[in-house]
Amino acid sequence: MPPLPPGTAEQAIQDALGHAVGDVFVDFSTAPLAAASIAQVHRATLRSGEIVAVKIRRRGIERIIEADLTILSELASLAERHVADAALYSLSELVNEFARTIRREQDLVREGRLIERIASQFAGDPTVRFPRICWPLSTTSVLTMEFLDGVKVSAVGTSEAPDLDPRLVARRGADAVLGQILGHGLFHADPHPGTFSSCRAISSRS
- The set of catalytic residues is 190
Cα-Cα-Cα-Cα torsion 21, 22, 24, 26, nearest 10 degrees, comes to 120
Rounded to whole angstroms, the Cα distance separating 92 from 96 reads: 6
Residues 6+ apart with CB under 8 A from 114: 186, 188
Residue 6 burial (CB < 10 Å; 0-12/13-18/19+)? exposed
Phi-psi region of 128 (alpha: psi -120 to 50; beta: other; left: phi over 0): beta
